[in-house]
Homo-oligomer: A and B are copies of this chain.
Amino acid sequence: MKTLSERQKLILALVIRDYIDTAQPVGSQHLVEHYNLDVSSATVRNELVALTNMGYLRQPHTSAGRVPTEDGYRYFVRQLMGHTELPDTTKHTIAHQFYQAGHDVDRWMRLAASVLAHQSQAAALVTAPRAEQARFKHLELIATHGRQVLMVLVLSGGEVRQQMLVLAEPVSQDRLSAAANHLNTAFQGMDLNSISAYTGQLDALEQDIIKLAIEDMQHPGDILGGEVYRDGISQVLAEPEFAEVDVARKALRILEERSLLEDLLSRTVLTTSVGGVQVLIGGEGTWEELRDCSMVLARYGAPGIVTGTVGVLGPIRMAYGRSISTVRFVAGLLSDLVVDMHAE
């Protein structure tokens, strides 16, 4: 793969930027007129031919302007776009909204989705923070009715799981409280493995309970936290590439079906370190459902302790600069908030 001349880089960037704005194929004449290049349209045409041969541009039909290919977008994002940041005033406004939301994780998530959707003009996706390698913090047992007991399990990071258990026989609230107290003092702050090692010294009731608690802490295979927050879906469908319903439906399935989302996230952003922003352009040959879409994803939280995912989804012709800077900023903000809450 030959490297591009400076002029080729310039022209490629102009074509892509223009196309992202207008959704119209970009012609040689249009370029020289609007971006006062001091070369003729014929010269530009020659460069366009070169860029087309290199696979960065293509023509929808013989006599239309050029449109970026997926490779073109990838080159643009990696080499041409440079680093963009949201304006400071915007950042402050957003941060202020978060701090006003107090310590309500649910509100943070909704706010994050809303901010992502509005700033990036794409569909937003946020998963709740989830403790990896959860440590036991507190357990509460509440008798509700007969043999039914509500177990509330608090993990490090303030994550709360609740589960209804049905015991073999009715047990009094006093007995439950005693069991909870015992388990709380015994396992305070311990992680999964440590707890598993000590279960021998418990009575039958306590063993049953701690077994369920451990299962809950492992959250097997469930990568998404409990809830997935979405926003801006109806808004992003206004993009012309979703005029064809089938395209829109495929995109929606990604956001709607947990299994798809789980597969997608587990094989992309979960393999990345916190702080890095990952850009998926047009399915990358792996995800059929993403064929007509791009996603910008990032993890937030404290690596190895609690993490979640934020991201946006839009057409391949997406304003990557805005999206990436927004996703990066929101992920950073959430990281601060979550880490702060998690500190102990």
Residues of chain A whose beta carbon lies under 8 Å from any beta carbon of chain B: 102-106, 137-138, 140, 142, 144-145, 148, 150, 152, 154, 158, 160, 162-166, 226-227, 230-231, 233-235, 237-238, 242-243, 245, 248-250, 252-253, 256, 341, 343-344
Asked if A231 and B256 make an inter-chain contact with CB atoms under 8 angstroms apart, the answer reads yes
Chain B residues, CB < 8 A from A142: 137-138, 154
Asked if A230 and B242 make an inter-chain contact with CB atoms under 8 angstroms apart, the answer reads no
21 A-B pairs whose Cβ atoms sit less than 8 Å apart in the complex = A102-B164, A103-B148, A103-B165, A105-B164, A144-B343, A145-B341, A148-B341, A150-B158, A152-B154, A227-B227, A231-B256, A233-B252, A233-B256, A234-B249, A234-B252, A234-B253, A237-B248, A237-B249, A237-B252, A242-B245, A243-B245
Closest B residue, CB atoms, query A181 = B177
Asked if B245 and A238 make an inter-chain contact with CB atoms under 8 angstroms apart, the answer reads yes
Complex formed: what's the CA distance from A163 to B158 in Å? 10
Chain B residues, CB < 8 A from A231: 256
Chain B residues, CB < 8 A from A148: 103, 341
Contact partner of A140 (CB less than 8 A), chosen from B152, B235, B341, is B152
Complex formed: what's the CA distance from A154 to B162 in Å? 10
Chain B residues, CB < 8 A from A140: 138, 140, 152, 154
Asked if A162 and B164 make an inter-chain contact with CB atoms under 8 angstroms apart, the answer reads no
Closest B residue, CB atoms, query A343 = B145
Chain B residues, CB < 8 A from A344: 144-145
Asked if A104 and B160 make an inter-chain contact with CB atoms under 8 angstroms apart, the answer reads no
**18 more A-B residue pairs beyond the given contacts A103-B163, A231-B256, with a C-beta to C-beta distance below 8 A:** A140-B152, A144-B343, A145-B344, A148-B341, A150-B160, A152-B160, A158-B162, A158-B164, A164-B341, A227-B227, A234-B250, A234-B253, A235-B249, A237-B248, A238-B245, A243-B245, A245-B245, A248-B248
Chain B residues, CB < 8 A from A248: 237, 245, 248
Asked if B341 and A144 make an inter-chain contact with CB atoms under 8 angstroms apart, the answer reads yes
Complex formed: what's the CA distance from A237 to B343 in Å? 45
CB distance from A221 to the nearest CB of B (A): 14
Chain B residues, CB < 8 A from A150: 154, 158, 160
- A162, A233, A252 — most chain B CB neighbours (10 Å): A162
CB distance from A343 to the nearest CB of B (A): 5
Complex formed: what's the CA distance from A158 to B105 in Å? 20
Asked if B256 and A249 make an inter-chain contact with CB atoms under 8 angstroms apart, the answer reads no
Complex formed: what's the CA distance from A138 to B144 in Å? 11
